[in-house]
Amino acid sequence: MIDLKYLQNNFQEAQAKLQKKHVSDEIIEALHNAFIEQKQANATLEEAKANQNQLSKLFGQYKREKKDTTELKLQVDANKELIASLQEIASKASEALEKVALSTPNFPHESVPYGEDENDNVEIKKVLTPRVFDFEPKEHWDLGTLNNWIDFERGVKLAKSRFSVIRGMGAKVERALINFFLDENASKGFEEFCVPFINNATMLQGTGQLPKFEDDLFKIDGEDLYLIPTAEVPLTNFYHDEILSAKELPILLTGYTPCFRKEAGSAGRDTRGMIRQHQFDKVEMVALAHPDKSDEIFEMMVENASNILTKLGLPHRLVTLCGGDLGFSASKTVDIEVWLPAQQKYREISSISNVGDFQARRAKIRFKDEDGKNKLVHTLNGSALAVGRTLVAIMENYQNADGGIEIPEVLRKYL
């Protein structure tokens, strides 16, 4: 959630920021008005409550002094009715506010470039040069089947479309990648976590998936629980509703989890292969940082994810997302795209975001500053890395003319 006081006090500026992220003026104004209405309704309600508390005290006093309370009782009853009606107004105002506020995206960081969609994203740099093939490189789905690394048909049989089975050496490489990623993250100071793959609605709201993106989530029937779409949810919410001390910041967390996504809006996209699945493995980095330090930690996380790809010998590029392509919660995002020779394209394999205080405000993650004040932390998250897509990248980049696949040097000790 954005800072509504900031919106109120710096309306023009806030509006300009949200416009960069393509939030319509109507929504911004609706939010602004809902906030002011809620504040007013609350103020009048509190006034009536204060009055009621006074009368109650007086009532007690009368009783002790054995004075007659009939008159007072009438006053109290009248005020009680007033409170009830004011309460209703205030509750409605709060609900209305919450509805807009929770669905309004985060402000973009100053450094975010303007733009409509992914075409306006800005490339930062390319790392490693794509290999030149002296044969026609195969697609990973062909290589996967050929080498018995991936079984697409049986994945569909077991579940439904967009599920697959990784087997044999493919499964071993998948596992090796997870271990390699976790070790790399640990070497940068990230603590490793094994977390629940099912989280409750409060946590999903904390990181911003709910209420707006319910359609993208697998919900457990009859329960207030969801399969996590990313480890960002449990890792960020690990400190949900807690107050940390400034000294322990930054807190760096990493963990491997499967991720579950309905891919509701992706009909027809990447239907072949392993690029877009309902379930995929990912190793995630999460940081809780002092607001002054989050930019610095962001760079570290980008660097780390890129380094991992470099160690694997996979050509990739770094891209800063423009305002129009930024996700709901992110204030700034760098995508890392890996080279897929068969498609002759860079495809997203990691996305690192600085979320600022947006999730912290929702999830109530604060820290006690040196001056004793409670402030919101900044949260950051990023994949290091998406495991399935890395497997795809290895297959395609390390394929031989006969369809065989070489294993990257850094992974061999894990096999």
Residue positions annotated with a catalytic role: 261, 276, 348, 351, 389
CA-based angle 159:163:164, to the nearest 5? 110
CB 276 within 8 A of CB 270: yes
> Is 85 a binder of RNA (CB under 7 A)?
no
At 9, which amino acid appears? N
According to CB under 7 A, which residues from 371 to 390 bind RNA?
372, 374
**Which residue from 99, 167, 212, 368 is in contact with RNA, where contact means CB under 7 A?**
368
Q: How far is the CB of 57 from RNA (least distance, A)?
A: 6
Q: How far is the CB of 379 from RNA (least distance, A)?
A: 16
> Is 272 a binder of RNA (CB under 7 A)?
no
H or E element in which residue 2 lies:
none
Q: x/- contact string, 322-361, with RNA (CB under 7 A)?
A: ----------------------------------------
Q: Which residues contact 93 (CB under 8 A, 6 or more apart)?
A: 34, 37, 38, 40, 41, 42
Site size toward RNA (CB under 7 A) is: 25
| Candidate segments 36-44, 140-148, 282-290, 315-323, binder of RNA by CB under 7 A | 36-44
**Which residue from 73, 154, 272, 345 is in contact with RNA, where contact means CB under 7 A?**
73
Q: x/- contact string, 198-237, with RNA (CB under 7 A)?
A: ----------------------------------------
> Is 131 a binder of RNA (CB under 7 A)?
no
**Which residue from 10, 13, 25, 57 is in contact with RNA, where contact means CB under 7 A?**
57
Residue 70 CA to residue 394 CA, distance in Å, equals: 84
Q: How far is the CB of 234 from RNA (least distance, A)?
A: 16
**Which residue from 15, 22, 27, 39 is in contact with RNA, where contact means CB under 7 A?**
39
Q: How far is the CB of 77 from RNA (least distance, A)?
A: 7
**Which residue from 109, 278, 362, 366 is in contact with RNA, where contact means CB under 7 A?**
366
Backbone φ/ψ region at 66: left (φ over 0), alpha (ψ -120 to 50), beta: left
Backbone angles phi, psi at 328, to 5 degrees: -55, -50
User: Quick one: 53 or 266, whose CB is closer to RNA?
Assistant: 53
Alpha helices in 125-213 (DSSP H): 140-146, 152-158, 168-187, 201-207
- For residue 178, give the nearest of 315, 317, 308 by alpha carbon: 308
User: Quick one: 42 or 307, whose CB is closer to RNA?
Assistant: 42
User: Quick one: 35 or 346, whose CB is closer to RNA?
Assistant: 35
**Number of separate helices (H) and strands (E) present in the chain:** 12, 15
> Is 56 a binder of RNA (CB under 7 A)?
yes
> Is 19 a binder of RNA (CB under 7 A)?
no
Q: Which residues contact 335 (CB under 8 A, 6 or more apart)?
A: 121, 318, 319, 321, 348, 350, 351, 352
Q: How far is the CB of 220 from RNA (least distance, A)?
A: 13
> Is 50 a binder of RNA (CB under 7 A)?
yes
> Is 42 a binder of RNA (CB under 7 A)?
yes
Residues comprising the chain, all counted: 415
Q: Which residues contact 284 (CB under 8 A, 6 or more apart)?
A: 230, 231, 232, 235, 254, 255, 256, 257, 381, 382, 383, 384
Q: How far is the CB of 196 from RNA (least distance, A)?
A: 12
**Which residue from 32, 36, 37, 52 is in contact with RNA, where contact means CB under 7 A?**
52
Q: To which residue do tokens 């994949």 refer? A: 383
| Candidate segments 38-46, 255-263, 266-274, 298-306, binder of RNA by CB under 7 A | 38-46
User: Quick one: 60 or 404, whose CB is closer to RNA?
Assistant: 60
Residue 323 CA to residue 331 CA, distance in Å, equals: 9
CA dihedral 201, 202, 208, 209 (to 10 degrees): -10
13: its two tokens: 């500026």
According to CB under 7 A, which residues from 236 to 265 bind RNA?
243
Backbone φ/ψ region at 273: left (φ over 0), alpha (ψ -120 to 50), beta: left
Provide the β-strand partners of residue 260: 279
| Candidate segments 43-51, 129-137, 152-160, 164-172, binder of RNA by CB under 7 A | 43-51
- Positions that interact with RNA (CB under 7 A): 5, 39, 42-43, 46-47, 49-50, 52-53, 55-57, 59-60, 63, 73, 76-77, 80, 243, 366, 368, 372, 374
